Amino acid sequence: MLPRPFPMLASVAVSSESDLLLRAREGDVEAYAEFVRVFERRVRALLGRLLSDERDVEEAAQDTFVQAWRNLARFRGDSQPFTWLYRIAVNEALQRTRRKKLDLRSLDDLHPGDSSFFDPRSNVDTLAENRELSSFLAAKLRELPFEYRAPLVLRDIEGWSNQEVADALELSLPAAKSRIHRARSQLRDVVEVRRNQEASDSSQDTTAP
């Protein structure tokens, strides 16, 4: 996971991004174009983790910024710009998932050992060094319902705080924490089953005549 910016730098960046939105709200098209440039790559990366089809990712990204433009009046400047924008992006992904009943894509670049993906008290994350296990986890992530996968992606892949996840998904903080916990628990459980199965298979191999 990439480190967070230094607080002072982060504060300056957020202020600048908020200013762009506030200027855009007053009709400054160039300010909005700059805002799109700042966030376009991050929005596409998020949508790429939530949607399985590249064409849907492209359309959802475009629709995200169109909807953001149309709803500029709702941005009051009292929330962080990326939280406001990502809420729109996640909603676009959710609508497409429901409408087309898409399977959620596997996260081929997911490395659980590099994030808070597992509870730090669990020793399961030591297995994540295994590339095969990473692929296994990616497949299991695809099976999670959107309502659990989206919070997990934002928290453990994007590196958001629990409060930021709650704000983006319009959930209470306890609800966001609960969904993240349930998603993690489900994945830990399937990893444990896999580990036990591997141990059993190994035991049978050593005792076989």
Question: 158: domain CATH number?
Answer: 1.10.10.10
Q: Which domain-ending residue is among 42, 73, 100?
A: 100
Q: How far apart are CA 183 and CA 202, in angstroms?
A: 29
> In this structure, are 167 and 84 located in the same domain?
no
Task: Please classify residue 61 by burial: count the beta carbons closer than 10 Å to its beta carbon, then call 0-12 exposed, 13-18 middle and 19+ buried.
Answer: buried
Which contacts of 190-198 are long-range, i.e. CB under 8 A and separated by 24 or more positions? 190/136, 190/140, 191/124, 191/127, 191/133, 191/136, 191/137, 192/124, 194/133, 194/136, 195/124, 195/127
Average pLDDT, the chain: 76
pLDDT for 30 equals 92
List the domain range (segments joined by +) for residue 14: 7-100
Specify whether the CB–CB gap between 168 and 160 falls below 8 A: yes
**2, part of any domain:** no
Q: How is residue 101 annotated by DSSP? A: T
Phi, psi (5° rounding) for residue 170?
55, 50
> In this structure, are 53 and 80 located in the same domain?
yes
> In this structure, are 79 and 140 located in the same domain?
no
Check whether 52 has a pLDDT greater than 70.
yes
> In this structure, are 118 and 95 located in the same domain?
no
**HSE-up (13 A, CA, CB side) for residue 77:** 10
pLDDT for 173 equals 95
Average pLDDT, integer, range 96-101: 72
**47, part of any domain:** yes
Q: Is the dihedral of CA 178, 173, 81, 4 positive or negative?
A: negative
Q: How far apart are CA 130 and CA 170, in angstroms?
A: 36
pLDDT digits (tens, 9 = 90+) for 146-205: 899 889 888 888 888 999 899 888 899 999 999 999 999 988 888 888 888 877 776 665
Average pLDDT, integer, range 74-79: 74
* Domains of the chain: total: 2
pLDDT for 180 equals 94
